[in-house]
Amino acid sequence: MKKTIKDINWTGKTAVMRCDFNVPLDGDKITDDIRIQAALPSIKYLIENGAAIVLMSHLGRPKGEAKPEFSLAPVAKRLTECLGQDVKFVPSDVVVDDTVRAAAKELKAGEVMLIENVRYRAEETKNDPAFSKDLSELGDIFVQDAFGTSHRAHASTTGIADYIPAVSGFLIEKELKFLGEAVNNPKRPFAAIMGGAKVKDKIPVITNLLDKVDILIIGGGMAYTFFKAQGYSIGTSLLDEEGLDLAGDILKLAEEKGVKFMLPVDVVAADEFANDSAHDVYAVDSIPDNRMGLDIGPETIKLYSDALKSAKTVVWNGPMGVFEMDTFAVGTKAIAECLAEIDATTVIGGGDSAAAVAKFGLADKMTHISTGGGASLEFLEGIELPGIAVIEDM
Ligand code: ADP
Ligand code: MG
């Protein structure tokens, strides 16, 4: 168990809190503030418990330079609105300077300030000790609450904890609870659903999960590499050449480990990668040479839904088809609806899978939707994330 902000007596202390305020912007307008909303419970807890609060985050990829289009100024404004109290933005092209230090020192209990985009400094992503120390000196305790960057050892996610004690905020606590429980202590049967585009990216996850799951369900673009490995022709479907041998290995490994490994039995294949393309349903052994598989077929949906009905824990990473196009969103939607209905702990990891579930309006029907795409994948791989490792144990 990792320490959280609840394990600290905040009276007279300043929290330096790493958030994920990497919000989509249109000019200086925030087009989706879900990440800001998500950070509010931890910030409010700190305010109510007498901490002074210095917030930090990255935004986009300014690549170590002060670029105004990546300024966190709009975030400070939105935070001020959401919290109903002033969140002082203290900008600096070098992120931490004497003005920033003075502002942090002057903060009183319950006051909140935000410093500039930590990626204005190249030292951030290099996990530079001097920059880490500069950040640490803005307060007394490091609060890690940016799960989405916790798989990166950066100054503001990892290095800072060399200088001051680290605890987690509520977002990280929740990620560890649901992702951690699902992977390490699941109620069984435990099913994982893997989809998305590339096999190669997800092989380590599949390999790790094969030791843990009872059922492994494959969909999406990666299925075709498995079909190819089984000797089927896949037409113009997505093929991950580099992942081909690995797919064969996975098939063998699943058999050795006695995991129920499920591949689609039928697919929806189209002439081209377009929503309005002509398309039909094919059994996996009869995909025409000139067509590409863009979704799982109706038999597969039935098969997968049946298999998932008995599951008590489900982890889902990667859509079943090209869900961005309505024509090929049917399989992904059906699986999302299935997960929404079953009596199981359902955990969604992966940026596109989370987007798909949100698109179908089913987000609140899932037990947990991870806020970190890459981070949740590495977590599922069984890798200890550097930004989590630094958080003190109870
Ligand atoms: P996640 O972000 O949930 O981890 P990925 O990034 O691995 O998922 O994969 C998502 C992408 O995979 C989506 O953009 C989707 O359109 C694409 N995809 C799914 N099925 C197919 C397919 N059959 N052919 C091509 N692309 C696909
Ligand atoms: Mg993705």
Residue 393 lies in a domain: no
pLDDT at position 275 = 98
* Same structural domain, 71 and 182: no
- CA within 13 Å, CB half, 389: 14
* Same structural domain, 333 and 356: yes
Catalytic pick among 50, 60, 64, 374: 374
Nearest C-alpha neighbor of 10 from the set 111, 87, 81, 96: 111
Minimum-distance ligand 1 atom for the alpha carbon of 325? 16
Residue 87 lies in a domain: yes
Residue 386 lies in a domain: no
CB distance 112 to 87 below 8 Å: yes
- The answer, yes or no, to whether any atom of ligand 1 lies below 6 A from the CB of 318, is yes
CB distance 211 to 333 below 8 Å: no
Give yes or no: 198 in active site. Answer: yes
pLDDT at position 151 = 94
Q: How many angstroms is it from 349 CA to the middle of ligand 2?
A: 10
CA 150 to chain centre: 10
Residue 289 CB partners (closer than 8 Å, separation 6+):
233, 235, 236
Catalytic pick among 35, 78, 202, 228: 35
Residue 394 lies in a domain: no
* Same structural domain, 159 and 253: no
Nearest C-alpha neighbor of 315 from the set 362, 347, 287: 347
Phi, then psi, of 29 in degrees rounded to 5: -95, 130
Residue 111 lies in a domain: yes
Q: How many angstroms is it from 301 CA to the middle of ligand 1?
A: 17
* Same structural domain, 368 and 242: yes
Q: Rounded CA gap, 120 and 117, in Å?
A: 6
pLDDT at position 350 = 83
* Same structural domain, 31 and 133: yes
Helix (H) / strand (E) containing 90: strand 87-90
Q: Which of 352, 366, 369, 371 to mutate to test the pocket of ligand 1 (most atoms within 8 A of CB)?
A: 352
Last residue of a domain, one of 168, 186, 204: 168
Last residue of a domain, one of 150, 168, 186: 168
- The answer, yes or no, to whether any atom of ligand 1 lies below 6 A from the CB of 296, is no
Q: How many angstroms is it from 171 CA to the middle of ligand 1?
A: 26
Nearest C-alpha neighbor of 222 from the set 272, 276, 277, 267: 267
- The answer, yes or no, to whether any atom of ligand 1 lies below 6 A from the CB of 36, is no
Last residue of a domain, one of 168, 198, 223: 168
Which residues on neighbouring strands pair with residue 114, listed in sequence order?
55, 89
Ligand at shortest distance from the CA of 316: 1
pTM (2 d.p.): 0.87
Ligand at shortest distance from the CA of 376: 1
Q: For atom 7 of ligand 1, which residue has the closest CA?
A: 196
Q: For atom 14 of ligand 1, which residue has the closest CA?
A: 322
Residue 124 lies in a domain: yes
Residue 389 lies in a domain: no
Q: Where are the alpha helices (DSSP H) in the chain?
A: 34-48, 73-83, 98-106, 122-125, 129-136, 170-184, 199-210, 223-229, 244-257, 298-309, 330-341, 351-359, 373-381, 386-389
pLDDT at position 287 = 98
Ligand at shortest distance from the CA of 193: 1
CB distance 72 to 118 below 8 Å: no
- The answer, yes or no, to whether any atom of ligand 1 lies below 6 A from the CB of 238, is yes
If phi > 0 it is left, if psi is from -120 to 50 it is alpha, else beta; for residue 368 that is beta
Catalytic pick among 3, 198, 200, 365: 198
Q: How many angstroms is it from 193 CA to the middle of ligand 2?
A: 15
* Same structural domain, 146 and 244: no
Encode burial over 119-156: b for 16+ CB neighbours within 10 A, e otherwise. Answer: bbbebbbebbeebbbbbbbbbbbbbbbbbbbbbbbbbb
* Same structural domain, 116 and 237: no
* Same structural domain, 180 and 163: no
Tokens 């989509």 sit on residue: 24
Q: How many domains does the chain have?
A: 2
3-class DSSP assignment, residue 134: helix
Encode burial over 197-210: b for 16+ CB neighbours within 10 A, e otherwise. Answer: bbbbebbbbbbbbb
- The answer, yes or no, to whether any atom of ligand 1 lies below 6 A from the CB of 197, is yes
Task: Read off the CATH number of the domain in which 287 is found.
Answer: 3.40.50.1260
Ligand at shortest distance from the CA of 353: 1
- The answer, yes or no, to whether any atom of ligand 1 lies below 6 A from the CB of 116, is no
Minimum-distance ligand 1 atom for the alpha carbon of 319? 19
pLDDT at position 43 = 98
* Same structural domain, 157 and 29: yes
Give yes or no: 351 in active site. Answer: yes
Minimum-distance ligand 1 atom for the alpha carbon of 349? 3
Minimum-distance ligand 1 atom for the alpha carbon of 324? 16
- The answer, yes or no, to whether any atom of ligand 1 lies below 6 A from the CB of 294, is yes
Q: Rounded CA gap, 63 and 11, in Å?
A: 37
Structure tokens that stand for 355 in this block: 């987007």
* Same structural domain, 112 and 189: no
Q: Rounded CA gap, 77 and 114, in Å?
A: 10
Going residue by residue through the chain (394 aa), what tens digit of pLDDT does each one get? 899 999 999 999 999 999 999 999 999 999 989 899 999 999 999 999 999 999 999 999 999 999 999 999 999 999 999 999 999 999 999 999 999 999 999 999 999 999 999 999 999 999 999 999 999 999 999 999 999 999 999 999 999 999 999 999 999 999 999 999 898 899 999 999 999 887 788 888 999 999 999 999 999 999 999 999 999 999 999 999 988 999 999 999 999 999 999 999 999 999 999 999 999 999 999 999 999 999 999 999 999 999 999 999 999 999 999 999 999 999 999 999 999 999 999 999 888 999 999 999 999 999 999 888 889 888 888 889 999 999 999 9
Nearest C-alpha neighbor of 315 from the set 200, 121, 182: 182
- The answer, yes or no, to whether any atom of ligand 1 lies below 6 A from the CB of 220, is yes
* Same structural domain, 233 and 143: no
* Same structural domain, 14 and 39: yes
Residue-range definition of the domain harbouring residue 200: 176-381
CB distance 176 to 183 below 8 Å: no
Residue 161 lies in a domain: yes
